[in-house]
Amino acid sequence: MEYWKATLEDIGILARLRVDMLCELNNYSDSLKSLIRGNTETYMINGLRDGSLICWVASESGRITAMGCVNFFSLPPNDWCPNGKTAYIGNMYTLPAFRGQGLGSGILERLIGEAKARDCQRILLHTSDMGRPLYEKHGFQAAPTAMALFPFGIIPSD
């Protein structure tokens, strides 16, 4: 297995894999899948170009089999994050045929390393039930104070 930081040339594949990930949890129409894929490509291109996004991939024989991304931003400093530097890990996905081989851990460790290299004092993420053991294994804990508002009524399914 080989790991590398994704480049602009990888964006089309990464956007498709992200839609595949979302479709494992949701039954999206073709039009919504197309919209999400196009918007994901734009989001990733912009993030890679401005440095606010880093994606790591795993591949076998040149075929991307797993991915994960980390975004960087700042929130107001507080007592548990004095510098405010924050990372958000998302888009963690492994093709079903390659699960259980440690690819998610390999990518997650690299993403955490990227966040530490930028002195991020908090790393946030959302998880599915399937992903929870991976993150717990790497020290992530549930945050009892987190809440969300969906002002346009688009609410994620459980």
pLDDT score recorded for residue 157: 65
Please give the helix or strand (H or E) that residue 92 lies within, else none: strand 85-94
- Token pair 């990733």 is found at 44
Q: Give the contacts of 86 (CB within 8 A, at least 6 positions apart).
A: 72, 73, 74, 75, 120, 121, 122, 123, 124
Residue 146 confidence (pLDDT) above 90: no
Burial class (CB in 10 A: 0-12, 13-18, 19+), 60: middle
Q: What is the pLDDT of residues 64-108, one digit of tens each?
A: 999 999 999 999 998 889 999 999 999 999 999 999 999 999 999
pLDDT score recorded for residue 17: 97
Lowest mean pLDDT among 35-39, 103-107, 152-156: 152-156
Q: How far apart are CA 99 and CA 85, in angstroms?
A: 32
pLDDT band for position 147 (50/70/90)? confident
Residue 148 confidence (pLDDT) above 80: no
> What is the C-alpha radius of gyration for the chain, rounded to an integer number of angstroms?
16
The reported pTM is 0.92
- Domains of the chain are 2-137 (3.40.630.30)
Contact 44, 10 (CB under 8 A): no
Residue 158 confidence (pLDDT) above 60: no
Question: Over the chain, what is the mean pLDDT?
Answer: 93
Q: How far apart are CA 72 and CA 14, in angstroms?
A: 19
User: Please, where are the H alpha helices in 9-137?
Assistant: 11-25, 30-50, 103-117, 132-137
User: Average pLDDT, stretch 23-48?
Assistant: 95
